[in-house]
Amino acid sequence: MCTTCGCGDPKLVPVDVHEKILAGNDRQAQHNREHFVEQGVLALNLMGSPGAGKTALLEATSRATERRWRLGAVSGDLATDNDARRLEAAGIPSRPITTGQGCHLDADLVHHALHGFPWTELDVFFIENVGNLVCPAIYDLGQAANVVALSVTEGEDKPLKYPVMFKAADLVVLTKCDLLPHLDVKVDRILDGLRRVMPKPNAIQVSARTGQGMAEWTGWLEERKARVPKRAAGAPAAHTHEHDHDHSRDHDHSHAHDHEHDHEHRHADGTVHRHGHAHGRDH
Amino acid sequence: MHEYSLIQSLVTRVEQEAVARRATAIHRLVVSIGELSGVDPELFQTAYDTFRSGTLCDRTPLELRQVAARWACPSCGREIPKGEVLTCARCELPARIAAGGDEILLETIEMEVP
């Protein structure tokens, strides 16, 4: 490793990066977040185990709000679009994100799902994540808050077993509380577990079947909705920020776009062209 | 199995850096994994060993540094032992986690440059 005589030997250099491995996802998530804030849409990342009652909670939310709010959702699922169809039937415009073997949603998948979906018209946009208490917690999607659905049938020690998920939660919704009389589960023990993994513990108890706790849940939504700056009437739907992102994961380019899908592409050779189109993941 | 998607991001990032610096070889990678990062170090290593073949990291050893999750009061600094309620009993403030305890960071790439 000669560095002095100029003989041309290679040298070893340590490059200090100190960067999050998920920095790329975080940048895309920040881009999504700018979209949501600019449009005055409250975006929520709804996570929880398979069968925790995420879809039922959204169906009950539609009933509880009597369609006063414009709700919408994207639903991540490994193989079916059942959840999206259930939500549509409940009056929540919805689109499936089928992940194949993917155990979580990432910011890029959510961004793609937004294209062609009328999310800018919504008051509350739910991103129903893949049922999983592990991986989804570490991927920022651009949401304003994380909501974790935990059904009382899952056992008292779930918060202590899955601390990463509950640490990431802004609100835990304890679902299926109508079943408590039939179970040996003590809600106090679940709440105690949450205090040991969540620095700001916040939980509400609901039942989608009986409507118990739904007022508290919609109250929380109302409070979060009030924090989102409302887009001024008549303001253009197009957003103004410029950004770099990768639409295909294998073809890097930077472009600016608006919601009419006018794209300005800057190619590697420096040329720029604009065109309008709708595009999917093969772009 | 999000470890595989993390390894993909890691290798892509390392290759970018290597190309930018015209590296001829990559000798070592150092990654730190927080206790509450949601990543299992063993699975991460296995995923790396599987995924690296055919990439610039084919022969590059991966050094993992595990970072414990340490919670403390943001006001008085009292440390909150593992398993305790994450609120400072004295200041009644929510505890804060120390840097690195919930992150996955690419720390260093050791590369050979001409």
**Residue in chain A nearest B18 by alpha carbon:** A15
Can you give the pLDDT at residue A282?
34
Give the per-residue pLDDT at A1.
47
3-state secondary structure of A99: coil
Contact (Cβ atoms closer than 8 angstroms) between residue A197 and residue A160:
yes
Interface of A with B (CB under 8 A): 8, 10-25, 101-104, 106, 134-135, 137-139, 163-164, 167, 192, 195-201
Give residue for tokens 């049938």: A153
Distance from CA of A164 to the nearest CA of B (A): 6
Query: Of A137-151, A153-167, A219-233, which gets the smallest average pLDDT?
Result: A219-233
Measured between beta carbons, which residues in chain B are less than 8 angstroms from residue A198?
Answer: 86
Q: What pLDDT band is residue B2 in, cutting at 50, 70 and 90?
A: confident
What is the average pLDDT across A268-272?
A: 41
Q: Does the CB of B49 have a partner CB in chain A at under 8 Å?
A: no
Where does the pLDDT of residue A283 fall: very low under 50, low under 70, confident under 90, or very high at 90 and above? very low
Count of CB atoms situated within 10 Å of the CB of A127: 25
Two structure tokens written together for B79: 């440390």
Residue A258 pLDDT level (bands cut at 50, 70, 90): very low
Residue A266's CB is within 10 A of a number of other CB atoms, namely: 14
Least confident of A172-186, A242-256, B59-73: A242-256
Q: Provide the shortest C-alpha distance from residue B2 to chain A (in Å).
A: 6
CB contact under 8 A, B107 and A15: no
Across the interface, of B9, B111, B114, the residue whose CB is closest to A22 is: B9
Say whether pLDDT at B56 is over 60.
yes
The mean pLDDT value for A34-42 works out to 96
Judged against a pLDDT cut of 60, whether residue A251 lies above it is answered with no
Mapped onto helix, strand or coil, the DSSP state of residue A179 is: helix
DSSP class of residue A234 equals T
A113 versus A263: which is more confidently predicted?
A: A113
Contact B105 A20 (CB under 8 A): yes
Task: Provide, as residue numbers in chain A, all residues whose Cβ is less than 8 Å from the Cβ of B112.
Answer: 10-13
Q: Give yes or no for a contact between B105 and A18, defined as CB atoms under 8 angstroms apart.
A: yes
Is pLDDT at B70 greater than 90 in this prediction?
A: yes
pLDDT at A5: 54
- Contact residues, chain B, for A197 at CB < 8 Å: 86
Is A262's pLDDT higher than 70?
Answer: no
Q: What is the pLDDT of residue A264?
A: 39
A138 contacts on B by Cβ (under 8 Å):
2, 37-39, 104
Dihedral sign from CA coordinates of A260, A264, A267, A271: positive
What ipTM score was computed for the predicted complex, to two decimals? 0.92
**Strand segments (E) across chain A:** 11-20, 42-48, 71-77, 94-98, 124-128, 145-151, 171-175, 203-205, 254-257, 262-266, 272-276
**pLDDT bucket at A236, cuts 50 / 70 / 90:** low
- For chain A, the 3-state helix, strand and coil shares in percent, each to the nearest 5, are 35, 25, 45
Cβ contact, residue pair A200, B94, below 8 Å: yes
- Mean residue pLDDT of chain A comes to 83
In the predicted model, what is the mean pLDDT of residues A237-252?
A: 44
Residue A232: per-residue pLDDT: 56
Order the strands of the A203-205 sheet from edge to edge.
A94-98, A71-77, A124-128, A42-48, A145-151, A171-175, A203-205
**Pairing state of beta strands A94-98 and A71-77?**
parallel
- Cβ neighbours around A200 below 10 Å, total: 13
Confidence of residue A20 (pLDDT cuts 50, 70, 90): very high
Going by C-alpha positions, the residue among A147, A139, A142 that lies closest to residue A239 is A142
Looking at residues A121-150, what average pLDDT do you find?
96
- Look at residue A176 in the predicted model and tell me its pLDDT: 98
Q: Does residue B88 surpass a pLDDT of 80?
A: yes
- Tokens representing A83 are 């959840």
Q: Which helix (H) or strand (E) holds B112?
A: strand B104-113
Entry pTM? 0.84
pLDDT tens digit string along B100-110? 999 999 999 99
pLDDT at A267: 44
**Size (chain A), residues:** 283
B39 in contact with A, Cβ within 8 Å: yes
Render A20-76 in DSSP notation, one character per residue.
Answer: ETTHHHHHHHHHHHHHHHHHT-EEEEEEE-TTSSHHHHHHHHHHHTTT-S-EEEEEE
Mean pLDDT of A192-204: 98
Q: How far is A209 from chain B (nearest CA, A)?
A: 32
For A61-94, the pLDDT digits (tens) are 999 998 799 999 999 887 888 888 999 999 999 9
